[in-house]
Amino acid sequence: MSIHPTAIIDASSTLAADVEVGPYAIIGRHVTIGKGTTVGAHAVVGDWTEIGENNRIFPQASVGAPPQDLKYRGEECWTRIGNNNMVREFATIHRGTVTGHAETVIGNGNMFMAYSHVAHDCRIGNGVVMANVATLAGHVTVEDNVIIGGLVAVHQFTSIGMNAMIGGGTMVSLDILPYTIATSARRRDTKLRGLNLIGLKRRGFSADAINNLKKAYKALFMADLKLPDAIARIKSEITDCKEVDYLLAFIENSKRGICRG
């Protein structure tokens, strides 16, 4: 274990043998940090935080701080972070609240660029990239392999489906469908701009899956059909495609409503 002598670590916390903690870093109460993780200079890890293995928390980052929620009264709520994540300078990740899930949960292999923010009770999957100053309000769900551009702001209780891409500066107030690209040009309303075809190909989606998703997208947004009619057509015309099935399930389970093309 490599702990700089100026670092402050609460006695109730547990660090794996090879964890590195830099100068003036602070580790709060009831924190566990797994092997291979580094905490940079002046970084702060707040109370009730679990951090897995091989994470890199860069200088000045803040992980597990109390939520920006006026109802929060210091209750025991958690931040849980998986493995192989990167939290860059001045990024902030807040713990959950008792009015939410009582925890903020982050999976594996994610990158939070400088000044990005993850608010209380968010749930983030695996392989997510949040670019500089991207911001999630409370209770947001981000599924696997999503890319969120710089200066994006996501409204509370919104969901972003897997393999979606959000263009820089976009204001997200409705659920973003899996496999799609969403942008807002020149401060106009946010709209879907089509499928994230390059991302799907890079992720190894089959040609059949991509073609089926194209058919589904056209039925949803280019066939002048009401949403229930479009879903019915897709179910009758496209069978045995798990990607399309997931797309339709996402729509049917949406509580905020979906961003449209």
CATH number for the domain including 131? 2.160.10.10
Closest-CA residue to 45 (of 6, 86, 94): 94
Q: Residue 205's CB: how many other CB atoms inside 10 A? A: 18
Active site residue 138: yes
Residues 244 and 135 in one domain: no
Residues 133 and 227 in one domain: no
Q: Which member of 42, 94, 117, 120 is catalytic?
A: 120
For residue 129, CA distances in Å to 56, 63, 112, 182, 231 come to 14, 17, 6, 15, 30
- For residue 5, the model assigns a pLDDT of 97
Residues 124 and 16 in one domain: yes
Mean pLDDT, the chain, rounded, equals 97
Assigned domain for 24 exists: yes
**Phi and psi dihedrals of 8, rounded to 5?**
-120, 120
Residues 127 and 34 in one domain: yes
Q: Which member of 138, 149, 167, 199 is catalytic?
A: 138
pLDDT tens-digit map of 96-143: 999 999 999 999 999 999 999 999 999 999 999 999 999 999 999 999
pTM for this predicted structure: 0.97
Residues 210 and 101 in one domain: no
- For residue 96, the model assigns a pLDDT of 98
Assigned domain for 161 exists: no
Assigned domain for 14 exists: yes
Residues 218 and 137 in one domain: no
Considering 76, 107, 142, which residue would you say is the last residue of a domain?
A: 142
Assigned domain for 219 exists: yes
Q: What is the CATH number of the domain that holds 236?
A: 1.20.1180.10
Closest-CA residue to 183 (of 157, 222, 148): 148
Assigned domain for 192 exists: no
pLDDT tens-digit map of 18-48: 999 999 999 999 999 999 999 999 999 999 9
Q: Are 112 and 79 in contact (CB under 8 A)?
A: no
pLDDT tens-digit map of 185-202: 765 689 999 999 999 999
| Separation CA 117–CA 126 (nearest Å) | 17
Domain that holds residue 215: 200-253
Residues 19 and 86 in one domain: yes
- Position 261 pLDDT exceeds 80: no
Active site residue 199: no
- For residue 189, the model assigns a pLDDT of 81
| Separation CA 229–CA 247 (nearest Å) | 15
Residues 118 and 227 in one domain: no
- For residue 187, the model assigns a pLDDT of 59
- For residue 216, the model assigns a pLDDT of 98
Considering 115, 142, 169, which residue would you say is the last residue of a domain?
A: 142
Assigned domain for 157 exists: no
Residues 94 and 205 in one domain: no
Residues 205 and 98 in one domain: no
Q: Which member of 47, 69, 121, 175 is catalytic?
A: 121
Domain count, the chain: 2
Helix (H), strand (E), coil (C) string for the chain: CEECCCCEECCCCEECCCCEECCCCEECCCEEECCCCEECCCCEECCCEEECCCCEECCCCEEEECCCCCCCCCCCCEEEECCCCEECCCCEEECCCCCCCCEEEECCCCEECCCCEECCCCEECCCCEECCCCEECCCCEECCCCEECCCCEECCCCEECCCCEECCCCEECCEECCCEEEECHHHCCCEEEEECHHHHHHCCCCHHHHHHHHHHHHHHHCCCCCHHHHHHHHHHHCCCCHHHHHHHHHHHHCCCCECCC
Residues 31 and 135 in one domain: yes
Residues 8 and 135 in one domain: yes
Active site residue 120: yes
Percent of all residues in the chain with a pLDDT value above 90, rounded to a whole number? 97
Assigned domain for 188 exists: no
Rounded average pLDDT over 150-172: 97
Assigned domain for 171 exists: no
